[in-house]
Amino acid sequence: MLINRAVYFRDRVPNEYTSSMTFSSIPFTHDAALDNALDVAINNKTKPPGSLGQLESLVKQIGLIQQTTQASIKDPALIVFAGDHGIVAENISAFPQSVTWQMVENFLAGGAAINVFARQNNCALHIVDAGVNHDFGARDGLIDRKMAYGTCNFAQGPAMTAEQCTQAMQRGADLVAVLKGNVVGFGEMGIGNTTSAAAIMHAITQIPVADCVGAGTGLTPDGVQHKQKVVETATAFHAPIILTGEPLNILATFGGFEIAMIAGAMLAAAERRMVILIDGFIITSALLVAARLQPAILDYCVFAHCSDERGHQQMLAYLKARPLLQMGLRLGEGTGAVLALPLLQAAVNFLREMATFDSAEVSKKSA
């Protein structure tokens, strides 16, 4: 249960989203001349055409994002957003809500998986309190953007107000605006957020709830069935909101503060022509919202992996995404995104450093 300081927001999300927040247009990455120049550069390396497989399409994507044939990976960063969810009152998690703040403490102490992988890959790591049900006080290394002490229970009403939703998105966007690098990934921490992500997935994609709900942090089969019923009941209750098809209505109704901040941060990253590393199930649910708002964002997204969380594979299929890794990951935190960083580095390195047929005096394939 949320502590008493949390407020139940009685406002209902309107049928038509009326926020004053605007979203800048994301620049298209397509450039016919650059597209051709990248093909020539890739195919002139000392290798059979296409022999580096997905690395070739990856570096081409990065080159189009950065508008250059000299693609680079500079100062990669990962932002972990943490927030609590009122839906935990429906007993949908194998872990108590207190694990959210305890894991934030673990991040700050440098002991979580994401800390290990970020250090290994020289990736800057930023930890954000988006709406954790805990008072941390002023802490070194913790960025305080707390919206409230968790969202409301979306089985009973909207998770947040429209105004909170857009404010959270703006706070996420503002954090990206000060990053120095050209690659950013996002992680999350929040007990109950796979339930929120499953509801968003169903509402956006119309994929049946049964195919959206998974074990999360380790529910038993009976627990998964209960979670499914909770999401089915809640989405039926909010059917008028889903029928609008308005992504911000859906986000405000079912989302978490961390998911809303991630959606806003993604949009801001694309506006800045940054490569966006997409992690697992919860991060992809934020992308579903962002892509419904600005479809061009997908050109900026590199899908790091396919999670073992049920529904993620269908999310990726819906987005026509091709993940780099399939390792059975389902931890979250942005771990899959950071683990994919060496592949991005390998892609840009082969384009920048590998010899050409001419420079190496190697004969090309005969016609």
Q: What is the pLDDT of residues 318-357, one digit of tens each?
A: 999 999 999 999 999 999 999 999 999 999 999 999 998 7
pLDDT for the residue 23: 59
User: pLDDT, tens digit, for every residue of 200-254?
Assistant: 999 999 999 999 998 887 889 998 999 999 999 999 999 999 999 999 999 999 9
46 and 351 Cβ atoms separated by less than 8 Å: no
By C-alpha distance, which of 219, 179, 184, 189 is closest to 114?
A: 189
Mean pLDDT over 85-90 rounds to 96
pLDDT for the residue 15: 33
Please tell me the distance from the alpha carbon of residue 246 to that of residue 118, in angstroms, as a whole number. Answer: 36
User: pLDDT, tens digit, for every residue of 92-118?
Assistant: 998 999 999 999 999 999 999 999 999
200, containing H or E segment: helix 193-205
Structural domains in the chain, sorted by start = 32-71+351-360 (1.10.1610.10), 77-348 (3.40.50.10210)
pLDDT score of 362 more than 70: no
Please tell me the distance from the alpha carbon of residue 189 to that of residue 83, in angstroms, as a whole number. Answer: 7
Of all residues in the chain, the percent with pLDDT exceeding 70 is 92
Please tell me the distance from the alpha carbon of residue 234 to that of residue 250, in angstroms, as a whole number. Answer: 12
pLDDT for the residue 218: 84
Mean pLDDT over 279-306 rounds to 97
Tokens 């247009």, residue located: 25
pLDDT for the residue 359: 76
List phi, psi (to 5°) of 226.
-65, -45
pLDDT score of 367 more than 70: no
Question: Does the predicted model carry a pTM greater than 0.75?
Answer: yes
56 is catalytic: no
pLDDT for the residue 366: 64
pLDDT for the residue 3: 33
49 and 278 Cβ atoms separated by less than 8 Å: no
Cα angle: 197, vertex 203, 209; to 5 degrees: 70
pLDDT band of 29, cuts 50, 70, 90:
confident
pLDDT for the residue 19: 39
Q: 45: which DSSP letter?
A: B
**Quick check: helix, strand or coil at residue 16?**
coil
Please tell me the distance from the alpha carbon of residue 278 to that of residue 58, in angstroms, as a whole number. Answer: 14
190 and 98 Cβ atoms separated by less than 8 Å: no
Widest Cα–Cα separation across the chain: 75
Catalytic residue among 56, 258, 333, 361: 333
Q: Which two tokens stand for residue 272?
A: 């800045």
**Residue 37: other Cβ atoms inside 10 A:** 14
Average pLDDT score, the chain? 91
pLDDT for the residue 357: 75
User: pLDDT, tens digit, for every residue of 48-64?
Assistant: 999 999 999 999 999 99
Q: Which two tokens stand for residue 268?
A: 């801001």
